């Protein structure tokens, strides 16, 4: 696999920091914790998921959206 750049690394570290056995981080959580812009974060988290660095642990309902959102966990915990 190709090495990740600083933005992807910051998003991955945020996902690791926010992961607990009972709850993982949503895209909004990862974006807020890492300080990366929302548009860039959406694309990069998708790329990290596709590359196998992040896995979707589960989905959950949130107040700000009608559909359930994915909770992302590092692939080793997924």
Domains annotated for the chain, with CATH where assigned, are: 6-74 (1.10.10.10)
- Phi, psi torsion values for 49, nearest 5 degrees: -65, -45
pLDDT attached to residue 27? 96
pLDDT value of residue 66? 95
**Token match 């570290």: residue?**
13
Number of C-beta neighbours around residue 70 at 10 A: 18
Instruction: For the chain, 78 residues long, give each residue's pLDDT as a single digit of tens.
Output: 565 789 999 999 999 999 998 999 999 999 999 999 999 999 999 999 999 999 999 999 999 899 999 999 998 765
**pLDDT tens track for 17-30:** 999 989 999 999 99
* pLDDT value of residue 43: 95
């Amino acid at each position: 696999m190709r090495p990740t750049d600083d933005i992807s690394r910051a998003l991955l570290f945020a996902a690791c920091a926010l992961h607990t056995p009972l709850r993982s981080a949503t895209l909004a959580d990862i974006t807020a914790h890492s300080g990366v812009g929302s548009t860039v974060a959406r694309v990069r988290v998708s790329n990290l998921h596709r590359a196998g660095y992040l896995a979707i642990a589960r989905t959950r309902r949130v107040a700000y959206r009608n559909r359930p959102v994915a909770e992302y966990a590092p692939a080793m915990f997924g």
